[in-house]
A and B are shown apart, each in its own frame.
Chain A
Amino acid sequence: MRKRIYILTVSVLSLFIIALIGCAGAGAVGTLQFHANGEDFVREGFVSKDGWSINFDHVYITLADITAYQTDPPYDSHSGGELKGKVNVGLNEVYTVDLAEGGTDAPPILVGEVQDATTGHYNAISWKMVKASSGPASGYSLVVVGTAEKDGQSIDFSIKVDKEYGYDCGEFVGDERKGMVKVGGTADVEMTFHFDHIFGDAETPMDDELNVGAVGFGPFAGIAEGGKLDVDMAGLQAKLPAKDYQMLVDILPTLGHVGEGHCHCH
């Protein structure tokens, strides 16, 4: 009798423990959000390296194949090697977002989220800039709309880029680490876009690599007509000086970052 009671007790306890372990495994997920950020350069505007005060009405960017990874060892974007993760989560759609949406105090743009992301540290991210198939940026991967002013002169511009790029990036570099998903919690990863790379920044030394490689706004102003500029890459290639067009082609791939961290562009 005692032996039967003992066996029964052990069996019940074992089943209880197994059930607890099973429940713990199934609940090890949280939410991972994907943000796109044009930073204060887009939200507040800035002064280009050649003195043009630029404000943005819209910055449409179209993103696809957005994927976050848990990599071990951590992915090194400098190496440009294949980005492989132990765990991957991603967004399945193509998204056109306006990085200027919401005004000067707006937070980074929430592109999408995965609500059953496996817990862990998502320390790498990849995405593609692709041509939009519809909407305000249809046919283009990037459309920048705004106003530039200098010395009493004002130019309304719309610059359209149809080139497509892929970015493989390591961990976010910024005020805090990102991508650490805990059970039932929410974490985020960020795709950052540095538009000071295109126009330069008057607050950065002119001999800084940023300004040396930037086109500035002056070349764009030089091809504006009647205070307006509405041009795509084909138009820019036809109208810009060859040197400036080549600088633009060379600098566009450097738009994508993870905070201040660099990405491998392909």
Chain B
Amino acid sequence: MVNTKWKFIIPLVLVLILGISTTAYAHGARINYTVNMTIDIVAKYDNGEPMGGAQLVVYAPDDPSNPWLTGVCDDEGRFSFTPDTSKPGTWTIQARQSGHGDIVHIPIGEDTAVTGSSGGYTVLQIVVMAVCGIWGFVGTALYFSRRRA
């Protein structure tokens, strides 16, 4: 009985030791990155002339009724903005001036929203966490299924 018990305890202790984080004796580094896209708008009249000074309104897909951003085109009808890529869907941009206007719909999918960072868990740590979790379930099941003396 004692031997059987130690067959479980010793491996468990070894696994726990391997999984414990140790103190880092060197400076750490962490890089976070986000891929952003910029949308460049060029607003022109039907005859090709730029809509200089046109009013721009940008609507995000999660709140199509309220402007997400407003602005004014430059003299060449140009306007740039960076959408929030955490809001995938159809972004709507409206340009208006002097009774003329147009609207454009730009789809921005989930795959264009890229945010990440260096660091995180190592493969060994992930394996250890998985083994511990599984062992917890198995152990609990064995405990409740034991034969009472």
Main secondary structure of the interface of A (DSSP, over half): loop
**Distance from A256 Cβ to chain B, minimum over Cβ atoms (Å):** 15
**Distance from A240 Cβ to chain B, minimum over Cβ atoms (Å):** 25
Do residues B103 and A170 form an inter-chain contact, with CB atoms below 8 A? yes
Q: Which residues of B contact A194 (CB under 8 A)?
A: 99
Q: Is B19 an interface residue (CB 8 A)?
A: no
Known contacts A173-B94, A210-B99; 17 additional CB pairs below 8 A are A73-B105, A74-B90, A74-B105, A170-B103, A171-B103, A173-B96, A174-B101, A176-B65, A180-B64, A204-B98, A204-B99, A208-B98, A209-B46, A260-B100, A260-B101, A260-B102, A262-B102
**Distance from A224 Cβ to chain B, minimum over Cβ atoms (Å):** 28
Q: Which residues of B contact A259 (CB under 8 A)?
A: 101
- Cα–Cα, bound, A261→B103 (Å): 7
- Cα–Cα, bound, A176→B70 (Å): 13
Size class of the contact patch on chain A: 20 to 34
Q: Which residues of A contact B100 (CB under 8 A)?
A: 260
Q: Is A150 an interface residue (CB 8 A)?
A: no
**Distance from B91 Cβ to chain A, minimum over Cβ atoms (Å):** 11
Q: Is B32 an interface residue (CB 8 A)?
A: no
Q: Which residues of A contact B65 (CB under 8 A)?
A: 176-177, 180
Q: Which residues of A contact B103 (CB under 8 A)?
A: 170-171, 173, 261
Q: Is B81 an interface residue (CB 8 A)?
A: no
- Cα–Cα, bound, A176→B46 (Å): 23
Q: Is B135 an interface residue (CB 8 A)?
A: no
Q: Is A121 an interface residue (CB 8 A)?
A: yes
**Distance from B93 Cβ to chain A, minimum over Cβ atoms (Å):** 11
Interface size on B, residues (CB 8 A): 18
Q: Is B107 an interface residue (CB 8 A)?
A: yes
Q: Looking across the interface, which residue of chain B has its beta carbon closest to that of A41?
A: B99
From residue 39 to 58 of chain B, which have CB atoms closer than 8 A to chain A? 45-47
Q: 1/0 per residue A70-105: CB within 8 Å of B?
A: 000110000000000000000000000000000000
Task: Count contacts between A and B, CB distance < 8 Å.
Answer: 43
- Cα–Cα, bound, A178→B1 (Å): 77
Q: Looking across the interface, which residue of chain B has its beta carbon closest to that of A182?
A: B65
- Cα–Cα, bound, A194→B100 (Å): 11
- Cα–Cα, bound, A261→B59 (Å): 16
Q: Which 7 pairs, one residue from A and one from B, show the smallest C-beta to C-beta distance? A: A260-B101, A173-B101, A74-B105, A173-B103, A209-B47, A171-B103, A260-B96
Q: 1/0 per residue A202-223: CB within 8 Å of B?
A: 0010001110000000000000
From residue 55 to 99 of chain B, which have CB atoms closer than 8 A to chain A? 59, 64-65, 90, 92, 94, 96, 98-99
Do residues B105 and A121 form an inter-chain contact, with CB atoms below 8 A? no
Contact among B64, B101, B102 with A121 in the assembled complex (CB-CB below 8 Å): B64
Do residues B105 and A261 form an inter-chain contact, with CB atoms below 8 A? no
- Cα–Cα, bound, A262→B95 (Å): 12
Do residues B107 and A73 form an inter-chain contact, with CB atoms below 8 A? yes
**Distance from A110 Cβ to chain B, minimum over Cβ atoms (Å):** 21
- Cα–Cα, bound, A177→B68 (Å): 13
**Distance from A193 Cβ to chain B, minimum over Cβ atoms (Å):** 13
- Cα–Cα, bound, A196→B47 (Å): 18
Q: 1/0 per residue A1-38: CB within 8 Å of B?
A: 00000000000000000000000000000000000000
